[in-house]
């Protein structure tokens, strides 16, 4: 058998867009190799979410259950998945390059003695994979060898799986876990609460940089624009490092990679590490008082202005539009 | 407490990377080589742990060419105690690097491994997790805070949707995120002292580890460049083009 196994990450029963992209990429890869795409959902009491995954065109869903899989922890998940991969004899294991995917898949690869390609953006010819390196300054064509290959995919590079008419069969498997090998304790999770769209799912992203100067200005100046546009909020590393906004808003080489229909960069200079996370957006707008700022070299529409004047004006204009 | 800090030599993050026309790699003349920024954070954290405990040893490791001595000396000048350079002329993949590090860990028996979450050249973000699995140790990746009491290690991690706290009993592997600390600069006395510190070179072949890469880079290409668009004169014009021309709002 040579199948593609997609790790379908879920958050408390919810399927984020990144998971639907992983399924979409898995289906694409399976079609390329003329093989089947199977999804695995891991957890405890996950029947409902497993059933939902079965409705996205996959050939089958494995519901991998164990109390130790209730919350995501790398060692338990890597153990359980490795045993499943061996049982199924799959050729590719694929996940989205989310925080969980990045944490889990290399550990799984090492357990399987399998090579891994991170953040794949396209499937090339003759079994090759394309992935960005050097903060997106080079695209590498890589080749993996061995019976099993592990891949994470960039969620901006593939289409989401479409819902199918027929639901795939769901099979429950009791995960093989040796409790004595579990050495990590999940102590707590401090959630960043937000009513706004998810950064990786939004149609419009408005990001702020050091130019905003304070967390207070993010609230009073940038957030009105974010909300008027119904956007998700992002930030540069400088803004996160300075504590203006929480860490999971960082866009860039070492943060989140986004490619919305519209990306608005406010008070962001456009360092290469930031561009790595947003330069595939459909339309890019930059607002910066320095006309030499590198962000303008990738912007479709640039406004050279003081953001503290321009952003409130934009909010007024957007509101006027919405009323008319 | 013995802490092992694996490091990699990479182009300075401010470098304008140029892909060679034949696709075999990047142009390396005029590149300033530095310690991978995430590894610098790892060295800093290891030094802080040692300083807090008042005793311990920080051992650097790298797998590369002779020229990598320079970056290891910089790490020693920051305050690390000694360094191991595993010499390999051929390109290893992440599994190969992790295997070499696992062998070093078996020989050195560190209590903790702290390393960068990703190298800013290949951007793979794999080796720490692979090493943890090979050693059968717990892992705490993308760390923004580390606390060690007795043998108990608590790590705050930057994950999607917030901050997660993990705990484990040593030994374990931690990979660093940007906000863990701000690395110190090497002081002049530090640089002087570093010259006398041990930097051991070991040929990779002597380790008895299978280094055959299962991942091969066949080609590098420059991505297509995005064209700059046009400037607008005012916020009102900007909103108007986004509405009527781009049809986005
Ligand atoms: C290993 C490594 C990884 C990194 N990863 C990332 C990453 O993932 N994401 C990321 O973003 N960065 C990353 N960086 C950092 C990156 O190199 C830049 O330092 C960072 O992106 C700069 O953020 P900024 O544009 O907000 O700040 P700055 O570069 O300081 O730019 C601020 C901009 O605001 C403008 N400005 C100031 N005041 C006003 C005003 N009143 N009106 C209008 N404009 C104004 C200025 O003209 C300037 O262009 C990384 C760096 C390294 C070394």
| Residues B163, B57, B51, B131, Cα dihedral to 10° | 0
Helix (H) or strand (E) holding A40, with range, is: strand A37-43
* pLDDT beyond 60 at B173: yes
Per-residue pLDDT tens digits for A76-134: 999 999 999 999 999 999 999 999 999 999 999 999 999 999 999 999 998 899 999 99
Q: B2-222 belongs to which CATH class?
A: alpha beta
E strands, chain B, are 2-6, 9-11, 33-35, 57-64, 82-87, 112-116, 139-149, 152-159, 162-169, 172-176, 199-203, 215-221, 230-232
Pocket of ligand 1 (CB under 6 A): A 209-211, 236-239, 250-255, 267-269, 271, 273-274, 277, 288-290, 293, 306-308; B 13, 37, 120
The CA-atom distances, in angstroms, between B42 and each of B2, B49, B52, B214 are 14, 11, 15, 27
Residue B195, chain A, CB below 8 Å: the answer is: no
Q: Are B154 and A187 in contact (CB under 8 A)?
A: yes
Interface list for A 18-57 with B (CB within 8 A): none
Beta carbons of B235 and A279 less than 8 Å apart: no
ipTM for the whole complex: 0.97
The model's pTM is: 0.98
- Rounded CA-CA distance A104/A73 in Å is 8
E strands, B80-119, are 82-87, 112-116
Beta carbons of B162 and A190 less than 8 Å apart: yes
Interface list for B 61-80 with A (CB within 8 A): none
Of B168, B215, B231, the CB nearest to A142: B215
| Ligand 1 atom having least distance to the Cα of A306 | 42
The number of beta carbons lying within 10 Å of the beta carbon of residue B187 is 12
Of B166, B241, B246, the CB nearest to A184: B166
Closest CA to A150 of A89, A95, A81, A86: A95
Q: How would you classify the pairing of strands A185-191 and B162-169? A: antiparallel
Beta carbons of B160 and A115 less than 8 Å apart: no
Q: For atom 29 of ligand 1, which residue has the closest CA?
A: A269
Instruction: Please report, for chain B, the start and end positions of each structural domain, with discontinuous segments joined by +.
Output: 2-222
Non-local CB neighbours of A165 within 8 Å, separated by 6+ positions: none
Beta carbons of B216 and A143 less than 8 Å apart: yes
Segment B173-184 mean pLDDT: 97
* pLDDT beyond 90 at A182: yes
- Helix and strand counts by DSSP (H, E) for chain A: 9, 16
Q: How far is A74 from chain B (nearest CA, A)?
A: 7
Q: Are B238 and A302 in contact (CB under 8 A)?
A: no
* pLDDT beyond 80 at A2: no
Beta carbons of B139 and A103 less than 8 Å apart: yes
Q: Is the dihedral of CA A236, A240, A245, A247 positive or negative?
A: positive
Of B179, B215, B248, the CB nearest to A144: B215
User: 3-state DSSP helix/strand/coil percent for chain A, to nearest 5?
Assistant: 35, 25, 40
Residues found in chain A: 324
The CA-atom distances, in angstroms, between B49 and each of A18, A187, B94, B171, B230 are 37, 21, 27, 14, 51
Which DSSP letter does residue A251 get? B
| Ligand 1 atom having least distance to the Cα of B36 | 1
The CA-atom distances, in angstroms, between A250 and each of A235, A241, A257, B117, B161 are 5, 9, 9, 16, 11
Segment A224-235 mean pLDDT: 98
Q: Is the dihedral of CA A232, A237, A239, A243 positive or negative?
A: positive
Per-residue pLDDT tens digits for B50-77: 999 999 999 999 999 999 999 999 999 9
Q: Is the dihedral of CA B154, B122, B33, A256 positive or negative?
A: negative
Instruction: Specify which residues A139 forms β-bridges with.
Output: A132, B221
Per-residue pLDDT tens digits for B194-240: 999 999 999 999 999 999 999 999 999 999 989 999 999 999 999 99
Q: Are A129 and A57 in contact (CB under 8 A)?
A: no
Q: How far is A87 from chain B (nearest CA, A)?
A: 20
The backbone region for B35, taken as left when phi is positive above 0, alpha when psi lies in -120 to 50, beta otherwise, is: beta
Q: Are B195 and B73 in contact (CB under 8 A)?
A: yes
Q: Are A150 and A115 in contact (CB under 8 A)?
A: yes
Partners of A284 on chain B (C-beta within 8 Å) are: 226, 229
Per-residue pLDDT tens digits for A301-317: 999 999 999 999 999 99
- Rounded CA-CA distance B109/B86 in Å is 17
Q: Tell me, what's the pLDDT at A170?
A: 98
Of A136, A145, A300, the CB nearest to B214: A145
Segment B89-97 mean pLDDT: 95
Q: Tell me, what's the pLDDT at A13?
A: 83
The CA-atom distances, in angstroms, between A153 and each of A19, A268, A294, B49 are 10, 27, 28, 35
- Rounded CA-CA distance B103/B145 in Å is 28
**What's the CA-to-centroid distance between B95 and ligand 1, angstroms?**
34
The backbone region for A119, taken as left when phi is positive above 0, alpha when psi lies in -120 to 50, beta otherwise, is: left
Q: How far is A270 from chain B (nearest CA, A)?
A: 12
SS3 A127: coil
Beta carbons of A317 and B236 less than 8 Å apart: yes
Banded pLDDT at B80 (limits 50, 70, 90): very high
SS3 B239: helix
């Amino acid at each position: 058998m040579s199948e593609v196994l997609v790790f379908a990450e879920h958050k408390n029963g919810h399927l984020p867009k990144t998971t639907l992209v992983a399924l979409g990429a898995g289906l694409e890869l399976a079609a390329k190799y003329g093989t089947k795409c199977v999804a695995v959902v891991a957890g405890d009491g996950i029947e409902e979410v497993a059933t939902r995954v079965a409705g996205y065109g996959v050939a089958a869903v494995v519901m991998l259950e164990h109390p130790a899989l209730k919350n995501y922890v790398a060692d338990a998940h890597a153990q359980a998945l490795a045993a499943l991969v061996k049982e199924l004899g799959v050729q590719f294991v694929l996940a989205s390059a989310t925080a969980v995917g990045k944490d889990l898949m290399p550990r799984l690869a090492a357990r399987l003695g399998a090579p891994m390609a991170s953040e794949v953006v396209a499937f090339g010819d003759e079994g090759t994979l394309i992935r960005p390196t050097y903060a997106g300054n080079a695209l590498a064509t890589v080749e993996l060898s061995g019976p099993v290959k592990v891949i994470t995919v960039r969620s901006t590079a593939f289409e989401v799986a479409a819902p199918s008419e027929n639901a795939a069969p769901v099979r429950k498997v009791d995960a093989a876990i040796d409790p004595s090998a579990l050495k990590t304790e999940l102590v707590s999770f401090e959630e960043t609460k937000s009513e706004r769209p998810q950064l990786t799912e939004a149609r419009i992203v408005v990001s702020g940089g050091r130019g905003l100067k304070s967390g207070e200005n993010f609230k009073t100046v940038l957030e009105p624009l974010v909300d008027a546009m119904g956007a998700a909020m992002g930030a540069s590393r400088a803004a996160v490092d300075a504590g203006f906004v929480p860490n999971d808003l960082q866009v860039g080489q070492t943060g989140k990679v986004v490619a919305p229909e519209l990306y608005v960069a406010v008070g962001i200079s456009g360092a290469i590490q930031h561009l790595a996370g947003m330069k595939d957006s459909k339309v890019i707008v930059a607002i910066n008082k320095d006309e030499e700022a590198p962000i303008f070299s990738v912007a479709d529409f640039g406004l050279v202005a003081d953001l503290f004047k321009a952003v409130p004006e934009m909010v007024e204009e957007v509101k006027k539009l919405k009323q008319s | 407490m013995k802490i092992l800090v694996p490091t990699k030599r990479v182009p300075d993050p401010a470098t304008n990377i140029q892909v060679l026309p034949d696709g075999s790699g990047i142009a390396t003349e005029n590149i300033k080589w530095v310690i991978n920024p995430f590894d610098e954070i790892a060295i800093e954290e290891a030094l802080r742990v040692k300083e807090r405990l008042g005793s311990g040893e920080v051992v650097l490791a790298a797998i590369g060419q002779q020229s990598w001595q320079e970056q290891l000396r910089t790490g020693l000048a920051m305050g690390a105690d000694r360094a191991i350079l595993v010499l390999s002329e051929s390109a290893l993949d992440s599994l190969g690097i992790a295997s070499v590090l696992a062998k070093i860990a078996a020989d050195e028996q560190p209590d903790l491994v702290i390393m960068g979450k990703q190298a800013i050249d290949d951007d793979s973000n794999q080796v720490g997790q692979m090493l943890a699995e090979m050693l059968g140790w717990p892992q705490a990746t993308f760390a923004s805070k580390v606390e060690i009491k007795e043998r108990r290690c608590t790590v705050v991690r930057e994950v999607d949707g917030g901050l997660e706290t993990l705990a484990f009993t040593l030994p374990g592997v931690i990979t660093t995120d940007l906000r863990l600390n701000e690395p110190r600069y090497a002081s002049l006395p530090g640089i002087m002292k570093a010259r006398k510190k041990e930097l051991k070179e070991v040929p990779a072949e002597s380790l008895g580890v299978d280094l055959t890469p299962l991942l091969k880079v066949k080609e590098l290409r420059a991505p297509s460049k995005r064209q700059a668009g046009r400037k607008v004169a005012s916020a009102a014009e900007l909103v108007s083009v986004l509405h009527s021309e781009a049809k986005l709002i």
